[in-house]
Amino acid sequence: MKMKQLEIEFKTLLTETDYHYFCNFYHLNEPDFHTQTNVYFDTPTQDLRQKHCGLRIRQYADRGEITLKTPQEIGLLETTDSLTLTETQRLIEQKVLPTTGAVAQELARLEIEISQLTILTSLTTKRAEFVIAEGLLALDESWYNQEHDYELELEVADAQIGKQAFEHYLHTHAITYRPAENKIVRATKAK
């Protein structure tokens, strides 16, 4: 399956106390969470980073996907190809990327040579994700390069309305906004 969608999200890092507050507030238990591992790619000269793009293979328990995020005027365009679990594991083990599909086409458009892409780092997240009135809420606990953090993400359809909703949501829950860089940036900096 190939998919393109616009991602508009607002996020904040959470303290461990804030994270557990939300787990309790939403009555989240172990079955509400799934684990995913993101393996990030770029060229040795960081051509994708210079273009403000991010490329990852995400492995779930039963499948995977490869996603390229490219900046848009508002938000990021996510181009995604679905993978089987076997394909996902093989690509990660061999440290290669597919040469066909929507992601490969987008990389070619960006003049990124697939054969030059290599694994930068990885990050594992335990995530609960569900719809609330303001949008799609994700509550994350992540581990990468001896780092461990907590994050709340709110994905919305409209940037202006979403920003106001996000700020109101944090205020309602008495959460201090703590800027959160994208996971690929955090994982790469911690490397």
- The CATH number of residue 24's host domain is 2.40.320.10
At CA 151, angle to CA 86 and CA 175, rounded to 5? 160
Structural domains of the chain, count: 1
Task: State which residues form the domain around 174.
Answer: 2-182
* CA 37 – CA 40 distance, rounded (Å): 10
In a domain, 125, yes or no: yes
Count of CB atoms situated within 10 Å of the CB of 55: 27
Count of CB atoms situated within 10 Å of the CB of 72: 11
In a domain, 91, yes or no: yes
| pLDDT at residue number 65 | 97
**3-state secondary structure at position 17:** helix
In a domain, 7, yes or no: yes
Residues 6+ positions from 190 with CB-CB distance below 8 Å: 121, 144, 145, 146, 147
In a domain, 188, yes or no: no
| pLDDT at residue number 2 | 56
In a domain, 16, yes or no: yes
In a domain, 191, yes or no: no
In a domain, 187, yes or no: no
Q: What is the pLDDT of residues 109-136, one digit of tens each?
A: 999 999 999 999 999 999 999 999 999 9
CB 147 within 8 A of CB 162: no
Strands 135-144 and 147-156, sheet pairing: antiparallel
* CA 171 – CA 186 distance, rounded (Å): 25
In a domain, 12, yes or no: yes
Q: What is the pLDDT of residues 63-110, one digit of tens each?
A: 999 999 999 998 999 999 999 999 999 999 999 999 999 999 999 999
Q: Go through the chain and tell me how many residues it has.
A: 191
What percentage of residues in the chain have a pLDDT greater than 90?
91
